[in-house]
Structure 1
């Protein structure tokens, strides 16, 4: 469904007088209006035109044509640096919210975008982020339908914070959840693990590594539609962001009261990330991802699910990485490459500085 974002008014729009954001741009006057017109409305406006209201409005009948339940999620993004190989904070904000909706079985429909801008941020940086958000939203097939802008004094935030909220519609008959795994089910991932966490840490430049690792940041709603069509009995899906795969499998084991056995040799990981982790003494299971899902499917649907994932551009390296068991409910165990076993536990904090 088309949800028009209000187009900028040509009568009101004029060139910005500043190259950097000032406190006046958050004051509610003409400077703020000019910033919003120049940066956000020009990037997000759809082909339709709408009056500049304080909310986006939806046709309920059009929403319900996609399913019988509304999904709703929100997330904040504070990544440093703002731009990194494979993405930026704008792309990350759209993908993160789209993926949170999609793993619940929802068709993402629309997003809101709230930005907190530090005084002194270059306006060109803000334009670049807004364009990236718009391009990513178009690729995901969602509208950025409403938003808010705040400017704070220098030092009150780190350059730019973004909060995106999304709504979607869950297809009738699809019922997935973190507590639905059953013994005998198969655990799948759609590709290489740990790329985003390694990319962000490497992009900060503290390590001076020659190898460039790109983030896997991507909207996964198309991939998930393909997966759920191939495996209609799918039990659960979750995007493995902060805390990585390890956090997801631990939440799954606890919520479903099952054991999980992973196979280290089956984990898809690029050699650069494995080497990166060895240098720093990190466990790649805990590295963040922004384009990877963990899915649990019944054993009889595992082959069809893997084939569907591998046929999609974002799932070419999909693997079965483990199984659900009745042993040791609530516990995750991994068979190591040396033939032993180790417990995969939930970290108390984070093995890295905060990255998203």
Structure 2
């Protein structure tokens, strides 16, 4: 009983400098770091199966800053591509089981955002072994496993390190039809923009970290898989999408519009927000990551009459957010459209 009481009294968010995807390296700084590191084009492989047969063609790499890498497999009677990604972050909530579920859903989302299906995952765990009990780490891993099972994705081991700050996530491998990928550079003018989860996760998580208040709707939103939304998008013929995570709606939309050579127009009144999100902004629970997101897109955005709280919410650093799809997705609100490139990459109305 004493052990259980001790575990329940530990607030995991207090052991991290940031929380969830808000702890990502700022987008502008990250682009400077990876500039020039795009892989050289692979040689055309021979259709010989087996070890040493050669790599496939790199279909999606660093060039457009997409959600995952995609490689077309060589040979075989059916065209298939491998989707590879990794994602991990510091605690976004205090409950270790919920943190595990959220981190797993977030990692799996990168595969769904490319139009793929996950086939195997491995855990990535950093743990301050002399500070936090391993019983909590077990709960984190249990939560991650549960969500992976829901996704039909086996978890086969992983890697762990002793670290002063707890971190958890997954490296995920998936498969996709190379002719039906969802890419962030395939947007075309005249296409509506759909958003499959409400915004406000960042400010609510920041309030949770500061006060201990729990927001069940936010947790439910973060643990929800983007599987069904991705399938619906592909079935509807969409070819362009991204998921909304640490760079906020505007940050990820800016990358999509820039990569596609278009301007994205957002109808702020059509964007869904979680209950309590505007109050959290009003009360000052805005992360540094969100403010950096806004500063990054500001030179490229015509905000019109949008007030500061609205701008912050549109740039709010999400964790395990929804898909932003260039196309209509059943059940998801249309929040704007892509238009021919204009003076700004983003326009908020």
Q: Settle same-fold status: TM greater than 0.5.
A: yes
Contact 2:203 2:280 in 1 (8 A): yes
Q: 1:192 aligns with which of 181, 194, 198?
A: 198
Q: CA deviation at 1:268?
A: 1.1
Q: CA deviation at 1:166?
A: 0.8
Contact 2:82 2:174 in 1 (8 A): yes
1:286 aligned onto 2:315:
yes
Aligned to 1:8: none
RMSD of aligned residue pairs (Cα, Å): 2.9
Max radius of gyration: which structure?
1
> How far, CA to CA, are the matches of 1:213 and 1:239 in structure 2?
19
Q: 1:96 to 1:66 in 2, by over 3 A?
A: farther
Q: CA deviation at 1:123?
A: 2.3
> How far, CA to CA, are the matches of 2:215 and 2:169 in structure 1?
31
Contact 2:104 2:169 in 1 (8 A): no
> How far, CA to CA, are the matches of 2:281 and 2:176 in structure 1?
38
1:332 aligned onto 2:338:
no
Q: CA deviation at 1:89?
A: 2.7
Q: Which has the higher helix share?
A: 2
Q: CA deviation at 1:289?
A: 4.2
Q: CA deviation at 1:331?
A: 1.4
> How far, CA to CA, are the matches of 1:266 and 1:78 in structure 2?
31
Contact 1:199 1:212 in 2 (8 A): no
Q: Tell me the alpha carbon deviations over residues 188-231 of structure 1, each in whole angstroms, 9 at most, x when there is no partner.
A: 1013212x21331121134x7797762321221233113311x1
Gap runs ≥5 in structure 2? 1-5, 8-72, 285-307
> How far, CA to CA, are the matches of 1:228 and 1:190 in structure 2?
14
> How far, CA to CA, are the matches of 1:219 and 1:76 in structure 2?
16
Q: 1:75 aligns with which of 87, 107, 114?
A: 87
Q: CA deviation at 1:329?
A: 5.8
Q: Tell me the alpha carbon deviations over residues 92-134 of structure 1, each in whole angstroms, 9 at most, x when there is no partner.
A: 2211111001111111111111212102311221221121111
The TM-score normalised by the length of structure 2 is 0.65
Aligned to 1:237: 241
> How far, CA to CA, are the matches of 2:249 and 2:217 in structure 1?
19
Q: CA deviation at 1:82?
A: 4.1
Gap runs ≥5 in structure 1? 1-18, 21-60, 311-317, 336-356
Aligned to 1:201: 206
> How far, CA to CA, are the matches of 2:202 and 2:167 in structure 1?
19
Aligned to 1:123: 134
1:222 aligned onto 2:228:
yes
> How far, CA to CA, are the matches of 1:140 and 1:271 in structure 2?
27
1:270 aligned onto 2:238:
no
Aligned length: 250
Aligned to 1:169: 175
> How far, CA to CA, are the matches of 1:219 and 1:210 in structure 2?
21
> 2:147 aligns to what SS in structure 1?
helix
The TM-score normalised by the length of structure 1 is 0.63
Aligned to 1:99: 109
Q: 1:146 aligns with which of 154, 157, 164?
A: 157
